[in-house]
Each structure stands twice: as structure tokens, then as C-alpha cells.
Amino acid sequence: MNFDLSDLRAFVAVADLGTFSAASQTLHLSQPALSRRVDKLEQALGFRLFERTTRKVELNAMGRAFLPRARHVLSELESALVSMGDLSERIHGLVTVACIPSAVDKFVAQVVRDFHQRFPRIRVRVLDQPAPEILLSVARSEADFGINYLGTQEPDLDFERLVDEPFVLACRRDHPLARRRRIPWSELAEHECITLAPGSGNRLLINQGLVQVKARPHWSCEVQHVPALLSLIEAGVGVGAVPRLALVGGASSSLVGVPLVDPVIVRSVGIVRLRGRPLGSAPQALYDMLKAHANPVRRQTRSAQVPRSRRE
């Protein structure tokens, strides 16, 4: 076949960035030169890879099928170069990570900062998405891997646990429940509660965990995302259940988290990736740094202070 690695890089860049203009800037090529490389690759393969319109460029079915193979060829070459010596200053590329929004601030941001210092020429794109969309992004190869609390039951995905975080009751420090050591879920039926809307991954975990609980919380208000839920709690609208990391190391000092029990509901945050698909050297490096960062986060989660009281 009459194509080379530069044609593969052009194809992957357009697939990752979604436009020829963005890909041409990343590869330091003119748009006509980039288009010629993609055209050359399509002619060599004998089929089109993109559906082009005046507004956007999207992978077609053949393009989606070919993208993982193109990534594999490029990653193998990159791995061979890395094995020849410390070439961190010379390695370039793009790593795409799909991530639940609550993990960006509490977990991912510091790792991306350290990764950029080590590999300054590698761009990192973070797709902050809801949990179900992360599974689709990884399955479609739109992300190299994802950070999620869903995926353990997906047949085509591997899930590697990073940290377990229980759900806690978020409330203002001046709320009557703030001085409790622990609170049964059933007791929330007596209070105004804010919850995440049906369809969210967190709401799904809570509903599954409360199947055997007779007295359910009374949800008086619904929101789409955890930050909005915390804002309403801070404003005094009510209380709400959130993963503990949402209140660790950055939440307002006016809020506290009290352990919820009977039952204890825990979500496991981990890395999801396509089963049987090797990562390139750049995604693998970020993957390894995230795993190394997980131990301090586990300790931080376990040691988070909870209001103490004479009452149970």
C-alpha cells in the first residue's frame, strides 16, 4: 500500500480533533497538505474514512474501525523509540482521557500537571463527561481510556479500581445533622433532600443501594451535576448525598460530610479501557501516573474528618 506514517498521523489527528484546521495547527501543516495526506491514505486503503460536510468532519463506520489499528501502529513505533533512550523531550502527540467531572478537580488535575512537566510536547485532552458517555467514548476509541465509576459489568471494557469512596450526607455546618457521627438513609425521609436527576450514574448507584430500604429519602429538588447540588446545599435549600471526594480538599468550608449507613453505599472510581487494546506509550505513561497517584488519594479519602458529636 502506498502510504506512510505521516499519513496515519494526519488521519489520527483529524479523528481526535474533529476538524482539519485544528489538526493542521497541531501537526504544523497547511490544511491543503493535511487534506492531501488523508486523501492519499483513503486512496491506498480503497475506502473513505470520514464523512465531510461544510460544518464538520466525522468518522464513518470504516474510519471508526480503522482508527484503533492506526493508533496501534503509531504506538508501536513510539514505544520502539522510547525503548532506545530517554526521549521525553522529543516525544509528542495527544492523549485523550474521558473523565467524570468530580474526579477532574480532586484527582486528575494534579496528575495532568505533573505529566505536562515530564512530557511538555504531549497534549492532554480531558473530556469531562457523565459516566454513561465515558463508556461510549472509550468503546468508540474517542478516548484512550476513561476514569469512571461505571464499567465493571461491560464485556468489552477492562476496569481497574483506583479508589473507593462512600456516599456521605453533605450539609451546612449549622444544620442539625452536621454534628452526627453517622446517619441512616431512612432518616433522610424526615428532611428536605436534593438529589441528582434520574439517568445519572450516581443516582443509579443510590437507587440500587436503597432497594431494601423501606423509608426512602424525600427528594425535594433535582439537579444534573454534583457542583450544582453542593451550591444548593450551601444556600440552605436542603441536604444531599454525594461521593466523599466531592467534599475533600476543595469544597466550601461551610459544608461537612457525615457518613451514611444502613446501608453503606460505595462507588469505586477506576480506569476503563478497551479490552485487548494496548495503549500507546504516551497514554500508558499517563495511565501509570494516575495509578501511582491513587494511593495518596485513598489515604486522603479514609482520613477525611467527619463532625463528631455526643449523639449517634
Beta bridge partners of 272: 146, 159
Q: What is the pLDDT of residue 212?
A: 85
- Can you list the domains of the chain with their CATH numbers? 1-84 (1.10.10.10), 164-267 (3.40.190.10)
Locate cell 500500500: which residue?
Answer: 1
User: pTM, whole model, 2 decimals?
Assistant: 0.63
Q: What is the largest CA-CA distance in the chain?
A: 77
Residues 249-266: what's their mean pLDDT? Answer: 83
Dist. CA 75–CA 285, nearest whole Å: 12
3-state SS assignment for residue 54:
coil
Quote the cell numbers at residue 113. 500537571
pLDDT in tens, 180-203: 999 999 999 999 999 988 878 888
Quote the cell numbers at residue 15. 479523528
Locate cell 464485556: which residue?
Answer: 155
Cβ of 230: how many Cβ atoms within 10 Å? 20
Nearest by Cα to 168 from 253, 254, 230, 101: 230
3-state SS assignment for residue 85:
coil
In this structure, which long-range contacts are made by residues 39-47, counting pairs with CB atoms below 8 Å and at least 24 apart in sequence? Answer: 40/2, 40/3, 40/7, 41/3, 41/7, 41/8, 41/10, 41/11, 43/2, 44/1, 44/2, 44/3, 44/7, 45/1, 45/3
Q: What is the pLDDT of residue 249?
A: 56
Q: What is the pLDDT of residue 119?
A: 86
Cis peptide before 176 (omega within 30 of 0): no
DSSP state at residue 185: G
Nearest by Cα to 183 from 246, 239, 247, 237: 239
Identify the sign of the CA torsion 229, 235, 240, 243.
positive
Dist. CA 171–CA 310, nearest whole Å: 18
Beta bridge partners of 258: 169
pLDDT in tens, 44-91: 998 999 988 767 788 999 999 999 888 888 877 766 655 554 544 455
pLDDT in tens, 84-106: 545 444 556 789 999 988 788 77
Are 74 and 280 spatial neighbours (Cβ–Cβ below 8 Å)? yes
Dist. CA 185–CA 170, nearest whole Å: 13
Q: What is the pLDDT of residue 111?
A: 92
